[in-house]
Amino acid sequence: MQRLIRHIRVLMRVQSGIAEARLRLLARRSILLLLAGLIALFGLCMLNVAAFFALRSLWGPVWAAATMAAGDFVIAIVVGAIAVAAKSSAELRAALELRQAAIDGIEEEFSGLRDQISLPLVLIPLITAIIRGVRKNKPDPQ
């Protein structure tokens, strides 16, 4: 019974760690996407004006403005792609593995308890189903 309580405590701590790691990943992605938006805004406001005046004499006002806007959008797309491609941390992967080990340990303890104590036969599968539901609650970011 002590091992069951230990597995449940580990599971609760790991779940908390996973939530914190996911929040940090979301914050990092959000900051990078915000940076991409700021680059696009400043690029459209400042660089376009300067380049427009430089290219206006060569290509005319329409083509100079279109060329500068296209360049700014390329830069914004590259930074946005970097933000979306950010991988989960090694800490998150380790926490997910530890959570899986704790869930497996709890399932083993419950299957061992089935033989030792006379719980109603409906209770053990119900608890196992709840544990499996916790495991399948959300896909893990990779």
C-alpha dihedral, 88 to 91 to 93 to 99, nearest 10°? -130
CA distance 85 to 101: 28
Residue 141, pLDDT > 70, answer no
Residue 135, pLDDT > 70, answer no
Residue 14, pLDDT > 80, answer yes
Rounded mean pLDDT of 39-62? Answer: 82
Identify the residue whose tokens are 């946005």. 80
Residue 79: pLDDT band (50, 70, 90) is confident
Residue 35, pLDDT > 90, answer yes
Rounded mean pLDDT of 104-131? Answer: 69
What is the per-residue pLDDT for 77?
A: 92
pTM: 0.42
What is the per-residue pLDDT for 107?
A: 77
Tokens of 98: 């530890």
Domain definitions of the chain by residue range: 2-135
Residue 67, pLDDT > 70, answer yes
Residue 99: pLDDT band (50, 70, 90) is confident
- Under 8 Å CB-to-CB from 56, ≥6 apart: which residues? 64
